[in-house]
């Protein structure tokens, strides 16, 4: 055993004191840097609301010709309000912002305040592409409002806070940081009109439509979606930038619908091999794979093989950046577009057109769902001439509703254009119905659809028995 001298004891004691002091100093530093959200919540929670809706009662398929004796065995289903999401008040006279999917199909919308008051709201306008809905409550006194900030000033790593009603637990507060900006969701398929803010704030069903605050107490986003494999929070949440949302709000208040820019190209991403083959220094931009006839792109001289690297003086780093950059430009505006062609960059002036509506941005109440009319679970209409011209489709039918069934399982969407079914060209609704009626029961058949000016095949399994 080595004996300890007085000098050794002093050195050990001094080292321990220094280590303890540094630990306390570091702990104090981190404690100072961690944000305190209590004041923010107290000041802003009053402008956050819970959204409940009343939807059409279930009728279990009973029609007007159902016999009275059969109706007696089917109990009436009461129409009760159902808490579906959150929202926030943006003006003292009662304008409320929330998500489109929170109020879609509602016959009545109820806004519940922080003080438990319940107010009936009218739907001013809906915009499905941005997943936004603008409501208006009737009030005789000024309401508490949020302060609208700027999502453009957000920095990755910045603290943010959400207030909402996950799973119906009203006014729940969660916090985190901005994980990324300008995100495109995996299933956007060239229809990305929102450059999402990605956060690690805990968001769950019921948070939809609620505000995302910065440390200044300003709303910088609207909590909209989560990426999950379990149905619950997994650390990846997405919010609509408030700058995008307020542009939609201004149009909904002014006209009741939303106009978006349209370029008229089909694009794909540029990987390392493509960048090398085109002579680009690095993979970037949106590669034009098709230019639609009569489109603004064609009129401006853009051709297949061009790589769009800048649009309206903004960089196009990823191909997914282009749709939301174009969509935010008002129709009729001329903007500079920089393309990379034959080893050189050149700038072209492009007069942006107007994107054809997938479904009209609605004013007033949304219509209740109607029953499907075929075994695929699809309702279709004749293809509008203007839509066909803009999409570059000469023939087809327009999907207006998708119900439970083979089409929904194959991820067919409302707004898709069906151009062929079971390798047969679809030219009209009557022709489509004839093809559907002759489909082989229990077999899989291919269907070709146009979505977002991009054609793709989906596989449908025809039911063995008609429902």
Cite the active site residues.
101, 131, 208
Q: Which tokens hold the place of 379?
A: 């309702």
d(CA 235, CA 198): 10
CB 48 within 8 A of CB 223: no
Which residues is 325 bridged to in the sheet?
Answer: none
CA separation, residue 374 to residues 108, 395, 419, 437 (Å): 30, 20, 17, 8
Q: Which tokens hold the place of 445?
A: 């058949």
- Give, as one character, the DSSP assignment of residue 106: -
d(CA 379, CA 356): 20
Q: Whats the size of the chain, residue-wise?
A: 467
Q: Distance from CA of residue 203 to its chain's centroid?
A: 15
> How many Cβ atoms sit within 10 Å of the Cβ of residue 368?
11
d(CA 436, CA 68): 34
Residue 68, φ and ψ in degrees, nearest 5? -60, -35
What residues contact 203, with CB distance under 8 A and at least 6 apart? 162, 164, 166, 174, 223, 226, 233, 237
d(CA 374, CA 436): 8
Rg of the Cα trace of the chain? Answer: 27
Q: Is 116 exposed, middle or buried (0-12, 13-18, 19+ CB in 10 A)?
A: exposed
CB 224 within 8 A of CB 197: no
């Amino acid at each position: 055993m080595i004996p300890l001298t007085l000098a050794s004891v002093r050195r050990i004691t001094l080292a321990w004191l220094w280590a303890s002091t540094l630990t306390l100093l570091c702990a104090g530093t981190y404690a100072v840097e961690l944000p305190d959200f209590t004041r923010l919540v107290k000041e802003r929670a009053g402008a956050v609301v819970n959204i409940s809706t009343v939807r059409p009662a279930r009728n279990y398929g009973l029609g007007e010709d159902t016999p009275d004796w059969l109706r007696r065995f089917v109990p009436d289903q009461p129409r009760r309000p159902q808490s579906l999401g959150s929202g926030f008040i943006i003006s003292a006279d009662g304008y409320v912002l929330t998500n489109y999917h929170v109020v879609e199909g509602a016959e009545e919308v109820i806004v519940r305040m922080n003080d438990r008051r319940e107010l009936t709201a009218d739907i001013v306008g809906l915009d499905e592409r941005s997943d936004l809905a603008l409501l208006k409550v009737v009030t005789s006194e000024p309401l508490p409002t949020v302060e609208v900030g700027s999502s453009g000033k957000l920095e990755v790593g910045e603290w943010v806070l959400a207030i909402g009603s996950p799973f119906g637990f009203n006014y729940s507060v969660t916090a985190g940081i901005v994980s990324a900006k300008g995100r495109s969701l995996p299933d956007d398929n060239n229809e990305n009109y929102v450059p999402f803010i990605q956060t690690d704030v805990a968001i769950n069903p019921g948070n939809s439509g609620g505000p995302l605050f910065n440390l200044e107490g300003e709303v910088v986003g609207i909590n909209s979606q989560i990426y999950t494999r379990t149905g619950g929070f997994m650390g990846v949440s997405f919010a609509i930038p408030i700058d995008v949302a307020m542009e939609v709000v201004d149009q909904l208040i002014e006209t009741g619908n939303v106009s978006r820019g349209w370029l008229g190209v089909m694009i794909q991403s540029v990987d390392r091999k493509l960048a090398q083959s085109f002579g680009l220094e690095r993979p970037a931009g949106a590669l034009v794979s098709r230019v639609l006839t009569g489109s603004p792109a064609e009129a401006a001289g853009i051709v297949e093989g061009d790589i769009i690297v800048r649009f309206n003086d903004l960089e196009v780093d990823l191909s997914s950046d282009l749709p939301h950059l174009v969509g935010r430009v008002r129709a009729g505006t001329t903007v500079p577009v920089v393309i990379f062609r034959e080893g050189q960059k050149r700038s072209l002036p492009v007069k942006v057109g107007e994107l054809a509506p997938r479904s009209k941005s609605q004013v007033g109440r949304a219509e209740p769902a109607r029953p499907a009319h075929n075994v695929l679970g699809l309702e279709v209409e004749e293809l509008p001439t203007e839509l066909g011209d803009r999409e570059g489709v000469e023939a087809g039918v327009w999907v207006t509703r998708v119900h439970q069934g083979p089409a929904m399982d194959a991820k067919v969407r409302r707004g898709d254009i069906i151009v062929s079914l079971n390798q047969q060209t679809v030219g009209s609704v009557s022709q489509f119905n004839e093809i559907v009626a002759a489909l082989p029961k229990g077999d899989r058949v291919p269907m070709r659809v146009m979505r977002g000016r991009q054609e793709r095949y989906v596989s449908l399994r025809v039911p063995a028995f008609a429902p």
